Amino acid sequence: MATPTTNLRNKEEHNNPTHGGPSGMGAKNKPHEATGVMDKAGDMASAAMDKVKDAGSNVADKARDMASSVASKAGDVASTISHKADDATSAVSGGIKNLAGTIRENLPHTGMLGSASGTIADTLESSSRYLQEEGLQGISEDLTNLIRRNPIPAMLVGVGIGYLLARSTSRS
């Protein structure tokens, strides 16, 4: 019993002279045509490989360009954040200095209260200078060095702050 695929193949072979149809010329040209077909297939495969290589190269170039663009934008954002942090630090420093001036003007200058207010104003002014000169980078470096020199007290302070934060948020 012949399948539909077999019937189709037999019909094609009968009408196609290259497959040994009624003309009888297919038998002579088969090796030469097979070589030509193989050459064409090789050329097509080579062309396809070239296209794949070009596409891969284009994709790699686009990915490289995108990565460079993202890195550049990230650098710009980091720079903007750094400038805003410096501006905020400067504003806080100015506020502390103004507070020190207000304390000096409004609190008594003599006696025990005058001595305490002078000390507080001096401390605020030195804090303002420190913040202005060092900025956030200097503060973070100093804090890191302090924690490295005193790891156990720093850990206990961290645990205490964590406890207080947990307790304050759980009561809400």
Greater pLDDT, 145 or 13: 145
- Over residues 108-123, the mean pLDDT reads 88
Per-residue pLDDT, 20: 47
- Over residues 41-67, the mean pLDDT reads 82
Reported as half-sphere exposure (CB side, CA atoms, 13 A), residue 107 has a value of 17
Decide: pTM greater than 0.75.
no
- Over residues 151-172, the mean pLDDT reads 90
Per-residue pLDDT, 172: 56
- Over residues 23-39, the mean pLDDT reads 62
Percentage of residues of the chain with pLDDT beyond 70: 79
Per-residue pLDDT, 32: 65
Per-residue pLDDT, 15: 52
DSSP letters along 71-137, please? HHHHHHHHHHHHHHHHHHHHHHHHHHHHHHHHHHHHS-SSHHHHHHHHHHHHHHHHHHHHHHHHHHH
- Over residues 33-37, the mean pLDDT reads 73
Out of 19-33, 74-88, 132-146, least confident range: 19-33
